[in-house]
Structure 1
Amino acid sequence: MATTAGQKPIVLHIGDPVKWNTELYAQFSKDFTVIRPSTEDRQRDQFMKALKEKKWGNFDAIFRPFWSTGGEMGRWDKELIPLVPESCKIFASAGAGFDWADVDILAERGIVYCNSAAASSESVSDFALFLILSTFRNLNWCTTSARDSPAAFQDCHTNAAPVSHNPRGHTLGVIGLGNVGFEIARKAYLAFHMNIIYYDVLRKPNAREAEIEARFVSSLDEMLGLSDCVILATPASPDGKKVVTKERLAKMKVGSRFVNIARGSLVDEEAVADAVEEGRLVGVGMDVHENEPRVNERLKGLRQVTLTSHNAGGTLETHIGFEELSMRNIDALLKGQKPLTPVNMHLMTSAVKSNL
């Protein structure tokens, strides 16, 4: 665990102090030398200056326990990452998404990036079921009408039923069957008795597929055409491009549905609005948005669209898990073990992997 001359490894803690896992953090602080830069030092210009001047020494790990603080320096990119000392071996962060960090460049530098998606799987999958059900049962229409006038109430009561459906027996297409995607699929399979198909860059083992009778479809376009409801559950696009585009939406069935609990930047929201207005999509659920906290004005005006405020992972249990998993990833790697939730190990060279 110790570095040269018996010194303890140094962990750079960016963001607010740990709030919930205080006993674990106390032990973490005994095992490692923890340095927490001030809010001022975390502003991009000041942060980069401090890295150039080695203000925090040759630290071994970066620890970000919250998604809402610790990101004041902005994007971790080709301008920022080269300033990180070569001693750094791991960046462990709260949150599932990592569109704010170039994990490929981190890999080139020999830095393992670990996210905390596993800590949010339960919360996100529960919320995803609500959005899936909303697309089948017109829940946005139902809930807003009940708060409106008696006429709106009666209109929805009378007219929503003929255009609403039970999810049972319909096909759910999952884009990204990772920890979160699998849990969504598992719950939809068990609770709604939906048929599960999925597309991913890596196929899951047969035993894993068998748990939910899932079928792998090697072509995303083909999967879109087979699905009654498509849910986007991938944390990032491999090439940085949008996953759901006008062209891809055109591959979907007329009368199908779409849910996004991944990242707003992965979806062409104007194309989604077009697809709703054209009748190709009869239900949409969007928890994440391209220009948060601003929400697409066209989508806000469509009663077939349920919009939420990036709430899917937002539970106390998730935040507690973010803290814990980030610490445990660092603890494992700096003590000679494998990290628990690496994201970019497949991008690292064999020589680097063998030393981790």
Structure 2
Amino acid sequence: MAYTSSQEASRKPIVLHIGDPVKWNTDLYAKFSEDFTVVRPSTEERQRDEFMKGLREKRWGNFAAIFRPFWNTGGEMGRWDKELIPLIPTSCKIFASAGAGFDWADVDLLAARGIVYCNSAAASAESVADFALFLILATFRNLTWCTTAARSSAAEFKDCHTNAAAVSHNPRGHTLGIIGFGNIGFRIAQKAYRAFGMKIKYYDVVRKPAAQEAEVEAEFFSSLDAMLAISDCVVLATPASPDGKKLIVKERLRNIKWGSRFVNIARGSLVDDEAVADAVEEGRLVGVGLDVHDLEPNVNERLKRLREVTLTSHNAGGTLQTHIGFEELSMRNIDAVLKGREPLTPVNKHLLVTPVKHTL
């Protein structure tokens, strides 16, 4: 939808809605549309060249917010980078999006423009944590072997029934090392601690409050390699690196405890899949669960062949409740900032030079 002069006359802040229409929170969206002038570029207008042209022409006016309620649409223009971000009007105060990750937007550059970026990790924490528990259990109990054998021949069924027990373990009492102790990492810790009785260790750039640690008897590690060395299972639950560097590589895997397990529900770009395959084949890793992959939608061929490895299709956050939460949280973040309140789930607020408040 094109911006018009009549909308400018309304003097309501303009919200640029990229992606599909809101599907579930329709009552909230109706109120949202009363408070703000919502403009939504067509699919054709969201293609990178045309989108950049539209921004240069100020086709959608001096919008105050960018709203992306879905992770699978609204990204047609590609990464918000040093080529795209300078085209955003100076009137824009907030970019609120579905999804927990934010590697598709340079949040440092957005902050330099005075734009707070808000993700929706809080809306997906429950779904991702549940899925992480499945992958943790899969690595301890050889669930890929068990499920594929049951779908195969009688001989493979018998082989698995007879031999899987000797290499399967209860998670209870084992040490779970979590990389990243934000909303999702902490929720994984809560579930693993309460359901499996696991010992919680974590690595993060910032240590969490003592009360939060006490809730799951978590031990903080300032050294990632030191935590890897004592963990029976490691879960990666941290955002993608802003510099694009991988975190789990061959050199780092040399520090992981021999005979341990590895789960990734974060970002595939953080992990060297070939190095993980090497670690499985040499016996350093006896179980792996990967929901995300380096070259999605393509999955590493070596990992596909290993029965110690459970592979899923970036499904961890994929529930209806998550989608509903993405829509709602994105709208509530924009509503808060454009009405002069604090954002609910800011990612880069600490980098902002100027306040994010905007008076309606």
Q: Same fold (TM over 0.5)?
A: yes
* 1:340 partner amino acid: L
1:237 deviates by 1.7
Counterpart of 1:75?
Answer: 79
Counterpart of 2:4?
Answer: none
Residues of 2 paired with 1:198 and 1:210: CA distance?
Answer: 13
1:6 deviates by 6.7
Counterpart of 2:3?
Answer: none
* 2:184 partner amino acid: V
Residues of 2 paired with 1:243 and 1:354: CA distance?
Answer: 35
1:206 deviates by 0.5
Counterpart of 1:119?
Answer: 123
Counterpart of 1:35?
Answer: 39
1:240 deviates by 2.5
Counterpart of 1:283?
Answer: 287
Gaps of 5+ in 2: 1-6
Are positions 1:239 and 2:243 aligned together? yes
* 2:45 partner amino acid: D
Counterpart of 1:8?
Answer: 12
SS class of match (1:145):
helix
Are positions 1:167 and 2:171 aligned together? yes
2:115–2:356: 8 Å Cα contact kept in structure 1?
Answer: no
SS class of match (2:286):
strand
Counterpart of 1:266?
Answer: 270
Are positions 1:192 and 2:196 aligned together? yes
Counterpart of 1:209?
Answer: 213
Residues of 1 paired with 2:145 and 2:135: CA distance?
Answer: 13
CA RMSD of aligned residues (A): 1.4
1:238 deviates by 4.4
Are positions 1:97 and 2:92 aligned together? no
1:4 deviates by 9.5
1:290 deviates by 1.0
Pair 92,76 (structure 1): closer, same or farther in 2 beyond 3 Å: same
Counterpart of 2:302?
Answer: 298
Report % sequence identity. Answer: 79
Are positions 1:338 and 2:332 aligned together? no
1:92 deviates by 0.3
Residues of 1 paired with 2:172 and 2:67: CA distance?
Answer: 43
Counterpart of 2:314?
Answer: 310
State the aligned residue count: 353
1:239 deviates by 3.4
SS class of match (1:222):
helix
Residues of 1 paired with 2:52 and 2:211: CA distance?
Answer: 47
Deviations 1:242-293 (A, max 9, x none): 1111111110011000000001011000000000000000000000011111
2:93–2:358: 8 Å Cα contact kept in structure 1?
Answer: no
* 1:89 partner amino acid: K
SS class of match (2:67):
strand
Deviations 1:212-261 (A, max 9, x none): 01011001111111111000001222432111111111100110000000
Residues of 2 paired with 1:286 and 1:157: CA distance?
Answer: 24
Counterpart of 1:352?
Answer: 355
1:202 deviates by 1.1
Counterpart of 1:129?
Answer: 133
Residues of 2 paired with 1:6 and 1:27: CA distance?
Answer: 16
* 1:245 partner amino acid: V
SS class of match (2:355):
helix
